Amino acid sequence: MPSIFNVLVCILALLVGVLIGDITNSFANQIVKGINDYIRERGYQMIIGSSGYDPADEENYISSMAAIGVDGFIVQLPLPAHISEQSVIEAIDYRKDVDGFHPINVGRMAIGLPCYISATPRGIIELLKRYEIPTSGRKCVVLGRSNIVGKPMAQLMMQKEYGDSTVTVCHSRSANLKEECRQADSIIAAIGRPGFVTADMVKPGAVIIDVGTTRVPDATRKNGFRLSGDVDFENVAPLCSAITPVPGGVGPMTICMLMLNTLAAAKHEYYK
């Protein structure tokens, strides 16, 4: 893969990661701390804040963080069930929303205006570009319709500036899902179900992007689990012209795009 991970060395930008709820030993806690370790090695600063269980305080908490003059905010999703994700997201200043989840950034992305684009979909677009994967006019199936990956990914893949593809979004209620996948030139799997995409769903020569990162029990590992993608990698890989592994595929690109968004925020590239 072309080295884009060293481009941002010696650039100083300040990012705040907010963890909400009981985060002790949580997967979300590990994710944010992993991001922190990675970006600090590349010249960024990150403040990790945590907030408790009182939903009445969540918006005030995030608003108060803005006073310290940070360049960007991320809120590690999903949140505890009793807390409104949308309320928390909308409490963030959209000009510092480097996750690209605020309705203003989502809307601007949908109509092709400059904005912060969600890090995972943006990272996938960058992968496709760097490996010169043809997408224009090709059939792309996006598995999953989440606000974080599925919906923005579909929007980007159908836009002329990015994928220029014919896009089908499939989800848990989709009929003939296997048939849709078998017709696809590319499949972007973001459904959160380990090993969901099997060999009989993939046509020869297809491109597979695996966004899944589910912890599954594994007694052979020291920590008792391993990360599993949404694709049955061992059996699907021989059919593909290109495929991303888990871990080590989309994950590092997500962090890198988060860094680029934070840099854009520090430079006021999209909003003054």
217-238 burial string, b = 16+ CB within 10 Å, else e? eeeeeeeeeebbbbbbbeebee
Q: Which residue has the tokens 């599954």?
A: 216
Closest by CA position to 33, among listed 45, 48, 44, 22: 48
For residue 225, the model assigns a pLDDT of: 87
Residue 169 near residue 154 (C-beta atoms within 8 A): yes
For the chain, the farthest-separated pair of C-alpha atoms sits apart, in whole angstroms, at: 53
**Residue 50, beta-bridge partner list:** 19
SS3 annotation, 63-100: HHHHHHCCCEEEECCCCCCCCCHHHHHHHCCHHHECCC
For residue 256, the model assigns a pLDDT of: 87
**Residue 189, beta-bridge partner list:** 143, 210
The two three-digit tokens of residue 217, written as one number: 């029990």
Q: What are phi and psi of 16, to 5 degrees?
A: -110, 125
Q: Is the peptide bond before 247 cis (omega within 30 degrees of 0)?
A: yes
Per-position pLDDT tens, the chain of length 272: 333 323 333 334 455 555 445 444 444 555 566 666 766 666 666 655 555 545 556 556 556 655 556 788 887 777 777 778 888 888 888 999 999 999 999 999 999 999 999 999 999 999 999 999 999 999 999 999 999 999 999 999 999 988 999 999 999 899 999 999 999 999 999 999 999 999 999 999 999 999 998 989 889 988 888 889 999 999 999 999 999 999 999 998 998 898 889 889 989 999 98
For residue 232, the model assigns a pLDDT of: 97
Q: What angle do CA 200, 204, 207 make, to 5 degrees?
A: 95
For residue 63, the model assigns a pLDDT of: 61
CA dist list (Å): 171 to 33, 121, 165? 31, 17, 19
For residue 168, the model assigns a pLDDT of: 98
Closest by CA position to 213, among listed 159, 165, 149: 149
SS3 label, residue 170: strand
